[in-house]
Amino acid sequence: MAYKRVLTIQDISCVGQCSLTVALPILSASGTETCILPSAVLSNHTAGFSGFTFRDLSDDFAKISEQWKKDKITFDAVYTGYLGSIQQIDSVRKIFAAHCKGLTIVDPAMADNGKLYVGFDEAYAAEMAKLCFEADITLPNITEACFMTGTEYRETYDRAYIDDLLQKLRDRGAKTIILTGVSYREGRTGVIVDKNGVSTYYEHKKIAGGCHGTGDVYASAFTGAVMQGFNEQEAARIAADYTVACIEKTAGDAKHWYGVKFELALPDYIRMLGL
């Protein structure tokens, strides 16, 4: 297997097991050279803590890119997560054009449970949607897909609703869609891979309660699997199984409410990849 290089662009939440503190170790465990471009530095993630500090690194993007151009640095893939502003979305487009010689992978990382994250508005969602439609692969959850297409969010839905959502994403230009958190029956959830208008569904058990950061875990594990040569369906399955393993290793520990103990499941992930 070729030794590939991926760049991931997202924030550093110093505490909270999400974003770069998740992406860097998981991608590295996949056997992929992992480079980073931090979009911001936060004291901790924005959910559940009493507050957070935030340092925007938008102004560094162009300077870093210019240095990379001097050294002719390119990447086999660029994978983005949480981006803090519309300015950063535009900067990412320039990074794609200047430095990516392979796949562009975008996790919208902007909404869940029918609501946008703190600090985001409809204008941001519209720009993020454009970036997703320009990317080779996008990984929205149902809420994000609704914001991307102007669809009313529903907590309960059927296959027709999901099929319509996928069609709207295709109509707007989405190429390969990895739609996460799709649940058709109690106690089960799953992921849909839609490529060239053909959809496949991988269902797995749903663990009650949920955990912060699992979207970042999933997207990072998916990207790592793709970089190791697995197709999108295989990568989606591996990422789902790994994310479930992370949640299982965290369940029952009320003190660990802010993330998942993903590190404990890294050996499982490595075995799934056959490394």
* Span 57-96, pLDDT tens digits: 999 999 999 999 999 999 999 999 999 899 999 999 999 9
Tokens of 86: 């519309």
- CA neighbours closer than 13 Å in the CB half-sphere of residue 5: 8
pLDDT score at 104: 98
The verdict on pTM exceeding 0.85 is: yes
Task: Report the CATH number that the domain containing residue 265 is assigned in CATH.
Answer: 3.40.1190.20
pLDDT score at 48: 86
**Number of domains into which the chain is organized:** 1
Which positions ≥6 away from 257 have C-beta within 8 Å?
48, 212
Q: Which of 212, 114, 202 is closest to 155 using CA atoms? A: 114
Rounded distance, CA 255 to CA 214, Å? 17
Summarised one tens digit per residue, pLDDT across range 86-99 is 999 999 999 999 99
Summarised one tens digit per residue, pLDDT across range 161-182 is 999 999 999 999 999 999 999 9
Summarised one tens digit per residue, pLDDT across range 220-262 is 999 999 999 999 999 999 999 999 999 999 988 889 989 999 9
Domain that holds residue 254: 5-272
Length of the chain: 275
pLDDT score at 187: 85
